[in-house]
Structure 1
């Protein structure tokens, strides 16, 4: 018996690999949404995490760090704001 696939629709969802209740420490928007600068969530609105563990939208923390008053510190705890990119986690493949 041979089977021929005529049509295939793939559906996937993704989420950031962070706690569900975490929000950006600057704009207070949930990470599944976007920062005030972006239209769509995803790689264009990536997340950054300080070495202290606080998470931010990339655009929010970049604007924060540009300010002289930030002194290169995390806006939440005032530690040095050395940052790293967060990866998104692929989930719920259907």
Structure 2
């Protein structure tokens, strides 16, 4: 017996590889959501880890680091902000 598939419909979900109950330390929005600057979570709103192990939405930490108050430091522990590689 030969089967021919004429069409298929797929559904998928995604999530960041951090616990789902964790939130961004700056905007306080869960990581499986998106920052206040974005309307749709995903690749346009990635997460970024610091060497201090804190995680933020990319847009949130960039806005923080570019502010005068940040002094180039992590907002949670005040260590110099260095992006983890």
Superposition TM-score, scaled by structure 2 size: 0.92
The aligned residue for residue 55 of structure 1 is: 55
Matched residue count: 85
Matches within 5 A, 1:27-66: 27-66=27-66
Superposition TM-score, scaled by structure 1 size: 0.84
Counterpart CA distance in 1 for 2:2 and 2:71 is 67
Q: Which stretches in structure 1 are left out of the alignment for 5+ residues?
A: 86-94
Q: Once superposed, what is the RMSD of the aligned Cα atoms? A: 1.3
Q: Which stretches in structure 2 are left out of the alignment for 5+ residues?
A: none
Q: Which has the higher contact order (CA 8 A, sep 6+)?
A: 1
More strand by share: 1
